[in-house]
Amino acid sequence: MSYIQGMSFVIHGIGVSSGIAIGHAQLMAHAAFEVPHYDIEKNQLDAEVARFDSAMHGTRTELQELIDKVPAGAPPEFSAFLQLHLMILNDPTLAEEPRGLIRNERCNAEWALKQQMDTLVAEFEAIEDTYLRERRADVEQVVERVLKGLLGHNHATPRSAQGESILIAHDLSPADVVHFKQERFEAFLTDVGGVTSHTAILARSLNVPAVVSLRHARELIHDRDLLIVDGELGAVIVNPDREVLAEYRLRASELQIERRKLARLRTSPAKTFDGTPIELHANIELPGDIEQVQASGATGIGLFRSEFLFLDRNGLPSEDEQFVAYRQVAEDMRGAPVVIRTLDLGADKQLTGLTQQGDNPALGLRAIRLCLAEPQLFRTQLRAILRAARFGDIRLLIPMLSGVAEMRQTFAAIDEAKASLRRDGFPFRDDILIGGMVEVPATAIMLKPFLDALDFVSVGTNDLIQYTLAIDRTDGSVSHMYDPLHPAILQLISGVLKAGARAGKPVAVCGEMAGELRLTRLLLGLGLREFSMHPANVPAVKQRVLQTDLREAEALARRILNTTEPDRAAALLERLNA
């Protein structure tokens, strides 16, 4: 996994956003946690101490697991580091003192732990011995782990980028990445994460290289180390020597030239070599992404992941606030289609107080299930979208539909939102188009009743792959099995496209597959005419579309569809892309 070359070494992970970045390491600040402080009722003190104990226990298990999994080639200090962290964690100053603080000050566990950390850090600072003084960082790292357990994933407030910085975190929540939209990091590295986790998707949306699942980057890299991140290879070169650095600088400038060339295609219409028009739309997370969409040449928004308006903030956005955001996107897109997906919270997008982690959040109360269980939340959003739809070509998209009854319930909720707007005298768009996402295998297999009732469908391949192949999209340890070319996936996509054509209803693909260059021709050959992807991918995909002969693509796609042999499929795909 990693090897030392004198001072310089390389760590490998999974590249989730390509490109090359050169900059200095900035470890996600340990003490920068914004720790909430609140009072605990007397009769809740036992429960709060138990919550603290359970977070400590969780961290202990996590560290022990890391120790057990130290790879053979890792530097010997690495094991020692983890052992030291375990020792610090088990020391009564951390394991016991905060329990007393919770009871005496009647405060929450996070606050008690932070108080204790501050006390310990102050003591370390007074120590003359440099080695011991440096152990302060270890205390902070240990406390950070426990705080993460206590706070869930949403609460780490990372600091800002300083100079040409590369951010390194154990993990980033989607909310963290939203926070970074305002920052300027050159690249993102995380120890955990899968290839289509929302964190990875967002890193791509920031348009900087990102590597996830590095496993031990946080332990191996120090603040201010010089790094080269190769997002294509999923490699991080720590403290590179001069030749390697020069080589990568050259490669980075070549990439920039290639990008500029592609940008010239911005205004050319997307059509295949033989003249079939293809829609290339963009996926966005926030209204501010529109600038990038316009620069990309995308002709519409195929997926607005509206839940990102709800992350990285205090409280829920009101109907008016949402209305303004949706209207802005519609107006900025000047009459081009804008598909707004209703809230897809849950799974890896947690919102404190609303979503439940559960044992299996991807299979739990997520997306439309959560919205139907929280009618007030859903109504507020639907009203905002219906009102904004008067200002452009806004369409509704319902995530994660899995049954016909659920779809009917959703229609009832939309009708009810319309009736309430009528009652309150708000103008809105009555004939808004309603689409559904095909991301649960059941829906893909039994699409007809959905197509009969809906105006269009959009295939969410990220979840469709996750649910069909039973592979957690956020889990780096099974990322290698996340295979868009799996025959079952291709059969499902082909079936959905055929069913859509039979029903005369448009079918789009808005999962990451739509932006993967090696799959463009295959999807065209299977019959896809509407792609929605991250805007950064639009120019290259457009170039590929322009160079595609549809008949040839169809013939090869049929052959790929008919094979269950992975090597054969790979060889055919290579031919298709030649």
How far is the C-alpha of 230 from the C-alpha of 241, rounded, in Å? Answer: 15
Q: Is 510 a catalytic residue?
A: yes
How would DSSP label each residue in 47-107? HHHHHHHHHHHHHHHHHHHHHHT--TTS-HHHHHHHHHHHHHHHSHHHHTHHHHHHHHHTB
Burial class (CB in 10 A: 0-12, 13-18, 19+), 368: buried
- Contact of 213 with 190, CB cutoff 8 Å: yes
* Binding pattern for the stretch 405-444 against Mg ion, x by CB under 5 A and - elsewhere: ----------------------------------x-----
Residue 69 has a CB neighbour count (10 Å cut-off) of 11
Q: Which is nearer to ligand PEP, 474 or 548 (CB)?
A: 474
Q: Residue count at the site for Mg ion (CB under 5 A)?
A: 3
Choose from Mg ion, ligand PEP, none: what does 544 bind? Cβ within 5-8 Å by kind.
none
Choose from Mg ion, ligand PEP, none: what does 305 bind? Cβ within 5-8 Å by kind.
ligand PEP
How far is the C-alpha of 268 from the C-alpha of 254, rounded, in Å? Answer: 23
Ranges within 227-286 binding Mg ion (CB under 5 A): none
Q: Which is nearer to Mg ion, 366 or 544 (CB)?
A: 366
How far is the C-alpha of 254 from the C-alpha of 266, rounded, in Å? Answer: 20
Q: Which is nearer to ligand PEP, 407 or 437 (CB)?
A: 437
Regarding 346 and contact with Mg ion (CB under 5 A), the answer is: no
Q: Which stretch binds Mg ion (CB under 5 A): 412-420, 453-461, 534-542, 548-556?
A: 453-461
Burial class (CB in 10 A: 0-12, 13-18, 19+), 424: exposed
* Residue 80 amino acid letter: A
Regarding 307 and contact with Mg ion (CB under 5 A), the answer is: no
Q: Is 222 a catalytic residue?
A: no
Look at residue 391 and give its three-state secondary structure. helix
Q: Which is nearer to ligand PEP, 198 or 379 (CB)?
A: 198
- Shortest approach of Mg ion to residue 397 CB, angstroms? 11
- Shortest approach of Mg ion to residue 341 CB, angstroms? 9
- Shortest approach of ligand PEP to residue 509 CB, angstroms? 8
How far is the C-alpha of 195 from the C-alpha of 475, rounded, in Å? Answer: 8
Look at residue 22 and give its three-state secondary structure. strand
Q: Under the rule (CB under 6 A), what is the footprint of ligand PEP? A: 201, 303, 305, 344, 439, 460-463, 510-511
How far is the C-alpha of 82 from the C-alpha of 88, rounded, in Å? Answer: 10
Choose from Mg ion, ligand PEP, none: what does 176 bind? Cβ within 5-8 Å by kind.
none
Regarding 194 and contact with Mg ion (CB under 5 A), the answer is: no
- Contact of 207 with 292, CB cutoff 8 Å: yes
Choose from Mg ion, ligand PEP, none: what does 511 bind? Cβ within 5-8 Å by kind.
ligand PEP
- Shortest approach of ligand PEP to residue 348 CB, angstroms? 9
Choose from ligand PEP, Mg ion, none: what does 173 bind? Cβ within 5-8 Å by kind.
none
- Shortest approach of ligand PEP to residue 492 CB, angstroms? 13
- Contact of 227 with 238, CB cutoff 8 Å: yes
For 256-278, give the secondary structure using H, E and C. Answer: HHHHHHHHCCCCCCCECCCCCEC
Q: Which is nearer to Mg ion, 101 or 438 (CB)?
A: 438
Q: Which is nearer to ligand PEP, 441 or 511 (CB)?
A: 511
- Shortest approach of ligand PEP to residue 32 CB, angstroms? 28
How far is the C-alpha of 106 from the C-alpha of 115, rounded, in Å? Answer: 13
Token pair of 321 as six digits: 């606030």
Helix axes 242-263, 538-546, angle to 10 degrees: 60
* Strand 226-230 relative to strand 210-212, pairing: unpaired
Ranges within 458-517 binding Mg ion (CB under 5 A): 460, 463
How far is the C-alpha of 375 from the C-alpha of 262, rounded, in Å? Answer: 45
Q: Which is nearer to ligand PEP, 204 or 218 (CB)?
A: 204
Choose from ligand PEP, Mg ion, none: what does 510 bind? Cβ within 5-8 Å by kind.
ligand PEP
Q: Which stretch binds Mg ion (CB under 5 A): 60-68, 101-109, 246-254, 455-463?
A: 455-463
Choose from ligand PEP, Mg ion, none: what does 461 bind? Cβ within 5-8 Å by kind.
ligand PEP
* Residue 463 amino acid letter: D
Q: Which is nearer to ligand PEP, 102 or 514 (CB)?
A: 514
Q: Annotated catalytic residue: which of 155, 170, 510, 534?
A: 510
Q: Which is nearer to ligand PEP, 541 or 550 (CB)?
A: 541
Token pair of 22 as six digits: 């050169």
- Shortest approach of Mg ion to residue 435 CB, angstroms? 14
- Shortest approach of ligand PEP to residue 472 CB, angstroms? 13
Q: Minimal CA–CA distance to 550: which of 272, 230, 262?
A: 272
- Shortest approach of Mg ion to residue 548 CB, angstroms? 27
Q: Annotated catalytic residue: which of 198, 216, 486, 534?
A: 198
Task: Kindly list the residues in this chain that would bind Mg ion in the complex (CB under 5 A).
Answer: 439, 460, 463
Residues with a known catalytic role: 198, 510
